[in-house]
């Protein structure tokens, strides 16, 4: 008897029956960029189709996404230099655009899942994720700033706190601070394996948050290392993380798979700005079928083991499903 695997591929209906993985809109968290002002919307030049929105327009954007079935969002602030200082003071400003808008979002759309970003770089005059002292990014003093930032965001209605800073011990410190403040139900999605990647360029353009000196290699992970991600995952799990994230996604599918196979926590992956921009650029040139490549990339991330995908493709994928 000859075994014929092709029998399970002979029609679309049979292929659908045996399909092992499927991407759906409910898998996505859609990143959004927030700016000051009113009735303000500006496209991120290096990310066609992605915009920075003022608070009034970000509310409209969320509403339009909800009609497409997107109910999970992660909001990042893009602030002018005048709001930035050495200790990220603006991150605690209750009347500042970020915290004020978070409150507005949850008041208007209480049913959505709102994720926030905890790191110093959007607010720092140094452009680093941690506190800079004498030319060094210092770990433990940064934790105090991050924990206060997390509590401030939880007070505004954040459902998931996303520490993206890669400081040692920050998950435990943030978890303790949230619990002490009465936010035991607020989740933590740790950027567990955030690599010092070249794929972040367009995101830093969107937020104007590139480091003012040096790079981020003393705290973000070395792209050569995979086992190190397991160590980070173990620590984050023990410290109280609810989800573990790998960032970027495409070049780190092996890391996604490894974390999924070696932890009981849900694994998320961030399909980052550079990955998005490459597809858009090649699609604009007619070198690839943009939609098919987009869908294949998202499927590969899901197949590797990601239960959650943060992606700038979320809205256009949802539009194509409707």
Report the catalytic residues: 194, 247
Torsion over CA of 162, 28, 294 and 119, rounded to 10 degrees?
-10
CA distance 260 to 50: 30
Q: CB neighbours (10 Å) of residue 67? A: 9
Contact 318, 61 (CB under 8 A): no
Give the whole-angstrom CA distance, residue 246 versus residue 259. 9
- Joined together, the tokens standing for residue 56 give 């009034």
User: Closest by alpha carbon to 120, among 93, 143, 151?
Assistant: 143
CB 150 within 8 A of CB 174: yes
Torsion sign (Cα): 96, 154, 171, 77? negative
Kindly provide the b/e burial profile for residues 95-126, where b requires at least 16 CB atoms within 10 angstroms of the residue's own CB.
ebbbbebbebbbeebeebebbbbbbbbbbbbb
Q: Is 308 exposed, middle or buried (0-12, 13-18, 19+ CB in 10 A)?
A: buried
């Amino acid at each position: 008897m000859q075994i014929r695997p092709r029998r399970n591929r002979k029609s679309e209906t049979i292929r659908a029956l045996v399909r092992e993985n499927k991407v759906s809109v409910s898998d996505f968290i859609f990143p959004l960029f927030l700016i000051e002002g009113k009735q303000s919307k500006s496209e991120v030049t290096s990310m066609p189709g992605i915009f920075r929105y003022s608070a009034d327009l970000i509310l409209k954007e969320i509403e339009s996404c909800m009609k497409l079935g997107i109910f999970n969002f992660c909001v990042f602030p893009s602030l002018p230099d005048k709001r930035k200082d050495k200790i990220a003071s603006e991150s605690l400003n209750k009347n500042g655009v970020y915290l004020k808008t978070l409150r507005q979002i949850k008041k208007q759309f209480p049913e959505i899942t709102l994720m926030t970003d905890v790191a110093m770089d959007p607010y720092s005059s140094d452009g680093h994720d941690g506190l800079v002292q004498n030319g060094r990014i210092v770990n433990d003093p940064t934790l105090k700033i991050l924990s206060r930032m997390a509590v401030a965001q939880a007070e505004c209605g954040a459902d998931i706190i996303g520490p993206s800073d890669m400081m040692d011990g920050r998950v435990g410190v943030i978890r303790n601070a949230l619990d002490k403040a009465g936010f035991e139900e607020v989740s933590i999605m740790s950027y567990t394996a955030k690599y010092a990647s070249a794929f972040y360029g367009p995101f830093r353009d969107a937020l104007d948050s590139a480091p003012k000196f040096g790079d981020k290699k003393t705290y973000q992970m070395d792209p050569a290392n995979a086992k190190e991600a397991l160590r980070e995952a173990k620590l984050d799990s023990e410290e109280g993380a609810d989800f573990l994230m790998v960032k970027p996604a495409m070049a780190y599918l092996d890391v996604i798979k490894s974390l999924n196979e070696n932890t009981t926590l849900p694994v998320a992956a961030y399909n980052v700005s550079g990955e998005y921009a490459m597809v858009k650029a090649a699609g604009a040139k007619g070198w690839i079928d943009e939609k098919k490549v987009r869908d294949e990339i998202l499927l590969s991330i899901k197949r590797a083991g990601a239960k959650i995908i943060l992606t700038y493709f979320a809205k256009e994928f949802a539009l194509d499903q409707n």
